[in-house]
Structure 1
Amino acid sequence: MPVGAVATYVVALTARTSLKIGVYAALGVATADGLYALIATLGGSVIAPLIEPITTPLKWISALVLIALAVRSAATALNQHRRLTSSSPTKPPPTPTPTRAYFGLLGMTMLNPTTVIYFTALVLGARSTPSLLHQTVFVIAAFIASTSWQLLLAGGGALLGRALTSPHGRLSTALASSLLICALATQLLLTH
């Protein structure tokens, strides 16, 4: 499974917050993948030409959202690090609710044109028109595969968060993931 900017964000979000938040975020990504699999099976050959003209604006929007999230994550990490290392107590940054994590990652993944193009290419690559049973199995399998992968990423983020409990460890991890997210968002803009 490819690890892109969204997957990196799931890991970083879970490491920064909790496994529960990460699970909801992972389910948001998996829901988007399931929806795109459904859309691709129902009208893949019709959707591909319609999406082609807006692929570039969607890439820009997706990249800008990812970069904004990376900047916000880095700023939150820096503020939290300052709070933890200063002598004066300050209010910790707000943790997203599970619902907000779910819908945030659902929206972020739905903005990613690569996902729908990927699922459409899978459907178009089939030699024959799949039956309703095959389409249903494909959608369910795509959702289950995405769910298991995203939950594995969230679990990895939870382990990472537990292993790096020092203020410097959390700051380093958050800044590294923010840089990686920015690099992957930039790569998204540079690919055709």
Structure 2
Amino acid sequence: MTAPVVAGALAGYGIAVPVGAIGAVLVGLAARTSPRVAAAAALGVASADGVYAALAVTGGAALTPVLAPVAGPLRWASVVVLVALAAHTAVSAWRRYRAGDTPRAEAPPPSAARAYASFLGLTLLNPATVVYFTALVVGGTATGSGALFALAAFAASASWQLLLAGGGVLLGRVLAGRRGRLTTALVSSAVIVALAVRLVLPE
């Protein structure tokens, strides 16, 4: 019982800890919204990792050749979504700053359910995640119970994503002023665009 739990936890941290574009989006969202919304978004990312871990242990070897032809289009779709999100974040922050952050200018934050669904969908656009978990399964790393492996991967990913969300919330409290929030949004948008571009650049 211990082996699949340890393997799943290591796999979950392995895919979650390198902070990519999704992590940057998460931190930026957490800095601008509430801890509840940030936690829901973090669990959306972790749920996608858990889904892909489960797919890997139940048929990842068969899914890999199916996903290979659409990996490129999915990657480009992810880039488009991320760049659009970055642009929306930057433009909205600039408009709020110019308007003086009056109540009318402040856009309502997303609900926890919407944040969860958005981050789940965005993370599911990344076929590299299922390829990563499949490689571990085919390589024999995910031994024992597949359910325990997937649950452990989800738990590990969730703990890291929640840590990122908590850091974003603290950052938002530190930079609570008009300029602080504008700076946070613009830096977050720039990082997201840079990481999105890296998705389609040759290694």
TM-score in terms of structure 1 length: 0.92
- Deviations, residues 41-64 of structure 1 (Å, cap 9, x unaligned): 101110111111100000000111
- CA-CA distance at 1:118 after TM superposition: 1.3
Mapped contact 1:83–1:89 kept (Cα < 8 A): no
Describe the shift of the 1:164–1:99 C-alpha distance in structure 2 as closer, same or farther (beyond 3 A): same
| Matching of residues 34-183 of structure 1 within 5 Å | 34-84=50-100, 90-126=104-140, 130-131=143-144, 133=145, 135-183=146-194
Describe the shift of the 1:191–1:148 C-alpha distance in structure 2 as closer, same or farther (beyond 3 A): farther
Mapped contact 1:30–1:146 kept (Cα < 8 A): yes
The answer as to 2:45 corresponding to 1:29 is yes
Aligned residues: percent identity?
Answer: 50
Q: Counterpart of 1:10?
A: 26
TM-score in terms of structure 2 length: 0.88
- CA-CA distance at 1:83 after TM superposition: 2.0
* Equivalent position SS for 2:99: helix
- Deviations, residues 102-157 of structure 1 (Å, cap 9, x unaligned): 00000000011121111112112217x844x2x12210110000100010010000
How many residue pairs get matched?
187
Distance, in Å, in 1 between the alignment partners of 2:46 and 2:201 is 25
Distance, in Å, in 2 between the alignment partners of 1:17 and 1:89 is 15
Distance, in Å, in 1 between the alignment partners of 2:79 and 2:133 is 20
Mapped contact 1:16–1:161 kept (Cα < 8 A): yes
- CA-CA distance at 1:166 after TM superposition: 1.3
Mapped contact 1:26–1:154 kept (Cα < 8 A): yes
- Deviations, residues 69-107 of structure 1 (Å, cap 9, x unaligned): 11111111111111226xx76331121011100000000
Unaligned runs of 5+ in 1: none
Backbone CA RMSD of aligned residues: 1.6
Unaligned runs of 5+ in 2: 1-16
Describe the shift of the 1:171–1:91 C-alpha distance in structure 2 as closer, same or farther (beyond 3 A): closer
Q: Counterpart of 1:185?
A: 196
